[in-house]
Amino acid sequence: MAPVSTEPDRWCVVTGGRGFAARHLVEMLVRYEMFRVRIADLAPSIHLDSHEESGVLAEAIRSGRVQYISADLRDKSQVIKAFHGAEVVFHMAAPDSSINNHQLQYSVNVQGTQNVIDACVDSGVKRLIYTSSPSVVFDGVHGIFNATESMPYPSKHNDSYSATKAEGETLIMKANGSNGLLTCCIRPSSIFGPGDRLLVPSLVAAARAGKSKFIIGDGNNLYDFTYVENVAHAHVCAERALASGGDVSTKAAGQAYFITNMEPIKFWEFMSQLLEGLGYERPSIKVPAFVMMPIAHLVELTYKLMGPYGMTVPQLTPSRVRLLSCSRTFDSTKAKDRLGYAPVVPLQEGIRRTIDSFSHLTAGSRSKREGPSKASRILGGGKVADTLLWKDKKQTLIAIFILITIYYNFVATGSTIITALSKALLASSIFLFIHGILPEKIFGYTVEKIPATQFHLSKDSSHHLLVSVISSWNTTVKALKSLCQGNDWSLFFKVVFVLLVLSFAGAISLKSIFVIGLPLAFIAFTVYENKEQEIDSILLDLKSFVCKQKSDVCGKLFGREKHD
């Protein structure tokens, strides 16, 4: 659909305008001179990347054709301010889909979307195009083949992102016709292209860590990927269709549309082409999804417990494993017929452009040491890392002295956990009491008092801790109920595995941890920092061998069951 030049006083708003696909849409709108563009996003001000500073966006900002406004969709007054005087809103803002936090996803994708709708109605916006997701029809269990928009929402979604996106989509379609507002929903499938900050960077990180050799599942699952410029083009097509008037607008409005490149491809073939184009090995070792699921559940549980304390969002989660092993293809005929959409960049051309745009991440471009060592990153990069890696020798020696003192006073005496804890609390109480009655200065030396707030647990921290405990309890009860039914072998093996690990860990005495574990930690992390590449190579070969054996055994076992 050809771009249409318009008067310079017509405005559109792109929510989440600094996101991956949204940036491409903004630049497309600027090039087409369709509207003046107002970018609405969370940051207090806009910061352009180096390649943007000499591009069309920087020039448009200087000329006044593009404005930036800081707005949080959860604050309706900010949304109304952002939409003032706008004719069209492209609602693209959403939290990171990998963050499975229902409260966050609901507050933005549902409550925030309702604020967007209300602000459009109050501000007299004429057209609202919502960026949804094809995951709204995915249950995380069954593959999807050439699905049409008539496919209903599942009774249970794969994650909180998908569930709340479906709720937001429902609100958008119900709002069609309110005060003359025309709406529609765009469902782009698996977006890729230049500027992507998730797919290619995480793929390269996995390749550099030696984790990209593995295929989760049988490797035959089909996928529909969509080049980012085609996604932007689909939004423009939707806006033009809604603005056309007559039967075109009537048929286009109040509907959802799957957007793809219309070229389904095996998921792992697509990943292989990206990796190979960047100079890395193709994945070749197949690992059944059911083997990965217990590990993914353990990773997700760890994140639920440690997320409030700064743990980064993990890549390996149950919902991600399902996405990587299931087929997901969608029919874009409806978008073609009602919106006039057709891909402007073919799949292979999109892959080539993507590879070219990430030349700085090719295998040959990696420097010998990028930032902190891997050992330091594993340890969190703080005082623990400095201590175990001997970065601060004084701090390390003090830590060793304290550990020796603890060992001879609590561990070597044969104390039980209860008596050791009692002694530690007694010593702490005496220290705190004496420290409290000391004067502020002794012989000219200032005694720094420990404030009571040091021991205070904030309301937010208490809430997060309580929610984590309740969530863990509910998950355990749910697992027990399922286990009692006796028909979930996968869960049974997970439970057995976890209990075996716990029994092994429980057999290790406190004395063994001090005498063997702690010295080993001081030595092992230091050795690993200095011999990182050699050790990683050995571990990778060992892991590849084990996974291959598992894959062969599972294949024979399940193949025999099918045969029987």
**Of 297, 317, 281, whose CA–CA distance to 96 is shortest?**
317
Q: Which two tokens stand for residue 110?
A: 């549902």
Tell me the pairing of strands 265-266 and 86-91: unpaired
Q: How far is CA 431 from the centre of its chain?
A: 45
First to last CA, the chain: 56
- Edge-to-edge strands, sheet with 127-131: 66-70, 36-41, 11-15, 86-91, 127-131, 182-188, 256-259
- Alpha helix stretches (DSSP H) within 244-382: 246-252, 267-277, 289-306, 318-325, 333-339, 347-357, 374-378
Residue tagged active-site, from 76, 165, 423, 543:
165
Q: Which two tokens stand for residue 375?
A: 């050992």
* CA distances from residue 167 to 97, 131, 269 in whole angstroms, order as listed: 15, 13, 33
Angle between helix axes 489-506 and 289-306 (nearest 10 degrees) is 60
Q: Which two tokens stand for residue 12?
A: 């559109």
Do 312 and 96 form a contact (C-beta atoms < 8 A)?
A: no
Going by the DSSP 8-state scheme, the letter that residue 107 receives in this structure is I
The CA distance from 362 to 274, in Å, is 10
The CA distance from 297 to 307, in Å, is 15
Rg (CA), the chain: 28
Encode 21-38: b = buried (16+ Cβ within 10 Å), e = exposed: bbbbbbbbbbeeebbbbb
- Alpha helix stretches (DSSP H) within 256-288: 267-277
Q: Which two tokens stand for residue 308?
A: 């409030």
Q: Respond yes or no: is residue 165 known to be catalytic.
A: yes
Please state whether 193 falls in left (phi above 0), alpha (psi between -120 and 50) or beta: left
* CA distances from residue 154 to 141, 144, 258 in whole angstroms, order as listed: 10, 12, 17
Encode 485-511: b = buried (16+ Cβ within 10 Å), e = exposed: eeeeeebeebbeeeeeeeeeeeeeebe
- Please list the active-site residues: 165
